[in-house]
Amino acid sequence: MRNISCFLAALIISINAFCDPGDSTVKTKRIKRYHVNYYVTGSIIAVGMVGDLFAIRHLKNKASLSDEELLFVNTPQQINLINSIDRWSLKQPASISDRAMWKKVSDYGEIGIFLLPALLIIDKNIRRDWYDILLMYVEGHTITFTFYNYSPLGPFFQNRLRPAVYYPELGSEEQKNSNNRNSFFSGHVGSCTFSTFFMAKVFCDYHPNIGAAKYLLYLAASIPPLAIGYARIRALDHFPSDIAVGFGLGAIIGIVLPELHKNRHFKNISLGMFDAPEGTGLTLRWKFADKQPPNLNKYNTN
């Protein structure tokens, strides 16, 4: 993970140097790229964090697997129902020590990637808007967690079993753990992908002249979350499809959220969050501008 972080840092520094003409005699007006409504963003963060606390309690209180359930899912008929790509997760060497090692790799790696966007302060223009960007970053993570916890794809509604359930060599205690019902989808990968794609998107918005180099930047942003995804598979916590959904969701939020905050776009669009007894979710409102009726008095010749 350290090598990946160093690579991304070097890439941003080099692109930043390439984009900076270095001519101190030319003064350009600084453009504020994003608009952040502190009340709306603060409400999204607050409501989302409170909602996530309830979801985490639910996920931790799921029932452990019974002996009958464990025997049933490990029958050849049930294993054959798993698609061929995901079945790759069931053909790994498994031990408790190896699983614990890969878990540490993914957990500590996630922390490192979470802090990776701090490299954006290298850019002086981004550094001037650090408070707004920090709020957007926290907002984006809150939305990502909320999608993980409350969307129909997340473990609040899904009970897909982790690959560890299919490894008898781990022992029945590891197999029966209630947390093994939370395989779909990968929250680690979703969070990491949002972090790196948000980082790439913000940098590209402040440097619209980088041209095709932005594709290289997004390619580099894909490496850390995919590395985390590999570690999660090796830890027997996720199938490849869990990784793919988490990656896709994180990438979408990482790109769309800064775009919604752009000053020049979506002036009539507002993003919010609601919390009701039925559940927690996001609201997207699009206000169509009212056209003023034509002034007919100027055509009156009487």
Q: Compare 71 and 300 and report the one with higher pLDDT.
A: 71
Instruction: Identify the pLDDT of residue 122.
Output: 94
Question: Are 194 and 78 a contacting pair, CB within 8 Å?
Answer: no
Instruction: Identify the pLDDT of residue 22.
Output: 41
Q: How confident is the model at residue 18 (pLDDT cuts 50, 70, 90)?
A: very low
Read off the DSSP letter of residue 151: S
Give the tens place of pLDDT for each residue, 20-33: 444 433 344 566 88
Amino acid code (one letter) for 186: S
Read off the DSSP letter of residue 61: T
For residue 190, give both structure tokens: 């979703």
Instruction: Identify the pLDDT of residue 29.
Output: 54
Instruction: Identify the pLDDT of residue 277.
Output: 59
pTM for this entry:
0.79
Instruction: Identify the pLDDT of residue 286.
Output: 58
Read off the DSSP letter of residue 134: H
What backbone torsions phi and psi does residue 117 show, to the nearest 5 degrees? -60, -10
pLDDT over 60 (residue 188): yes
Instruction: Identify the pLDDT of residue 283.
Output: 66
Instruction: Give the bridge partners for 275, in sequence order.
Output: 280
Give the tens place of pLDDT for each residue, 80-113: 999 999 999 999 988 999 999 999 999 999 999 9
Q: How confident is the model at residue 168 (pLDDT cuts 50, 70, 90)?
A: very high
Give the tens place of pLDDT for each residue, 142-152: 999 999 999 89
Give the tens place of pLDDT for each residue, 192-208: 999 999 999 999 999 99
Residue ranges covered by each domain of the chain = 33-284
Between 131-145, 153-167, 275-289, the lowest mean confidence (pLDDT) is in: 275-289
Report the alpha-carbon distance of residue 77 to residue 88 in Å, rounded: 16
Give the tens place of pLDDT for each residue, 215-250: 999 999 999 999 999 999 999 999 999 999 999 999
